Structure 1
C-alpha cells in the first residue's frame, strides 16, 4: 500500500496543496503518472508543458472533478478523495475556479453571476450581497458594469467577471485554466497584472494552467512541468530557476523557446 503523506509534515512546509504519487487515466489510457509536488501558501503555481500533456486534466483532478487512478491530492494535510461528502463541500467552498471562456451565465447580469455563490452558500441579506458584488467587480476593474450581460462586454472583461465570481466567497485558492486564451497581448498583460495584484494584496494561493511563456515568467513563483512523451513530470520549481538550472533539456528548450538554457531577455530576473 502507498504510504500516505504526513499531514503534520505538510503543514510544517506551509503547503496549501500536496500532490503525492498521482496517476491520471481516461479508462485504460494513461495521461500522467507519479506526479509529486507541493503548492506553497501564497504561490502563483504554474502547471506547464507542451500540448496534450495533461495540464487541464491535472487541474480538473485538483478541483475534484476527476478521481485519481492512484495517489493523493491533499489540502492542508487532508486528502480530498478520502474525505466525506460534507468535508469535500467545505473544501470546495474555499476554492475559486475560473475557466477559459469565463463561463458566465448568459441570461444573468454580471452582478447576478457574481452574487450567485453568495446567495447559494451564505445567509447574507440581498442588500449585503449587492454591496459585496459591487466590491468584487470593482476589484477586477468592472465597477459600473453590474447590470451588463455577458454578451455586452468584451472577452477580457468576461474573464475578469468570471474572476470576480470565483472570488465571491473569499477563497483560499484560485484555480485558472488558460486565462489568457483568446485574448490580445495587451488584455493578456492586464490580466496577468490583475492576478499578481490579487495574489499580493489578498494573499490568495493561485494555481494556473498556461503555456504562455510571458505569463509564466511574469507571474509564476513555482510550478511543475509535465511531459506528454514520458507521461510524468520532468521538473518542479520556480520557472526562472528551471530555465537556468533544470537537468532536463526539454524543460530548458520549452522555457527558452528552443534556445537551451539561455534566459529570455526581459522575462527573467525582473
Structure 2
C-alpha cells in the first residue's frame, strides 16, 4: 500500500565516514508543503540532494509513489526525474541565455515540441511567476528576487508532480520573501504539485508548511515530524519547540500552558 507520494525509510546519510543523519522516517503526502527544518549544519540540503538522487544513501531508501529511486533502472530514474522540478538558492540561471531561453532548456531536451510552441510555453511559465514581458531579459538585467522566480518558472516547465526548493527566501527582504511564499502556494494550488522545501525562515515555515521534519545536528537524527504548528505546541522535544519559537520556549511550559505560534507580524520580522 502506497502511503504517500514520497517516503523516507530508515534513511542514513554520510559523507565518507562522517555521519550526517541516521534513521530518518517520514511520509510526504500529495499536495503537501513539506518543510525540511533544523539548525545550521544539520543536513537539510544534504537530505534534499538525496531526495533528488544526487547522493546515494548509506542505508535505507527513498520511495517515490512506492518505488525506490536508487534501485530503479536508469531509464526509470529518468522518468522519475521528469516528474520533478528543482529550484536552487540563486536561481541557477544560465547567464548567457535570456529568461525564455532558460525556461526552454528542459522543454527542448525532454519534449518534441517545435520552437514556436516552446517559446509560447516559456512565455506562459514566466507569466505564472509574475514575469510576463521579461522573456528577452538576461539574468544580469533582473533583481535577485526575479531570478528566483525565473528559476521557479524553469522548474515548472515540464509540469512536475513534485517541486523541490533549497532555501528559496535566502537573500530576500521580508516583503519579497512573503510574496515568494504566496507564489509557491498559488502554484501548488493551481498545478496540484507537492512542495518540498528546505528553509530556516520561521515566517515561511508557518506561512506555507503543513507537514515537515525536524533534523537535529547534535543527535544526528530526526526529532519530530508533522505540521510546524503541531510541533511547536506538542513536540516532546524542547529543542524543536525552542527552534520554532525563536528560543522563547524554555521547557517550563511543558508543566503549564502550551506555547503558541508567533503572531504573523513577529514572524515576518516587522
Shorter-chain TM range is over 0.9
Q: CA separation in 2, counterparts of 1:112 and 1:201?
A: 24
In the alignment, which residue of structure 1 is the partner of 2:263? 265
Correspondence 1:51-66 to 2 at 5 A: 51-66=40-55
Segment drifting more, 226-235 vs 124-133? 124-133
Pairing partner for 1:243 from 224, 232, 249: 232
Q: Take 1:32 and 1:169, find their aligned partners in 2: how far apart are those partners?
A: 32
What displacement does 1:168 show? 0.3
Confirm whether residue 90 of structure 1 aligns to residue 79 of structure 2.
yes
What is the distance in 2 between the residues matched to 1:135 and 1:240?
A: 35
Pairing 1:67–2:65 present = no
Cα RMSD (Å) = 1.0
CA distance in 2, matches of 1:103, 1:263: 34
What runs of 5+ residues in structure 2 fail to find an aligned partner?
Answer: 250-258
Q: Does 1:19 align with 2:8?
A: yes
- The 8 Å contact of residues 93 and 139 in structure 2, kept in 1 or not, is answered as yes
Q: Contact 1:52 / 1:228 at 8 angstroms: preserved in 2?
A: yes
Residue of structure 1 aligned with 2:124, choices 135, 160, 167: 135
Residue 262 of structure 1 and its aligned partner are, at CA, apart by 3.2
The secondary structure found in structure 1 opposite 2:229 is helix
Identify the residue that residue 227 of structure 1 maps to in structure 2: 216
Aligned partners of 2:159 and 2:191 also within 8 Å:
no
Alpha-carbon offset, residue 201 of structure 1:
1.5
- Deviation string for 1:94-119 (max 9, x for gaps)? 00000000000000000000000000
Which residue matches 1:80?
69
Question: How many Å separate the matches in 1 of 2:119 and 2:93?
Answer: 18
Give distance in 1, aligned partners of 2:176 and 2:265: 18
1:154-201 residue CA offsets vs partner (Å, 9 max, x unmatched): 000000000000000000000000000011111111100000111111
Q: Where does the alignment leave 5 or more consecutive residues of structure 1 unmatched? A: 1-8
Q: Which of 174, 186, 203 matches 2:175?
A: 186
Instruction: Name which of 178, 184, 188 aligns with 1:199.
Output: 188
Q: How many residue pairs align between the two structures?
A: 257
> What CA distance in whole angstroms lies between the structure 2 residues aligned with 1:263 and 1:206?
22
Quote the Cα distance in structure 2 between the aligned partners of 1:138 and 1:250: 41
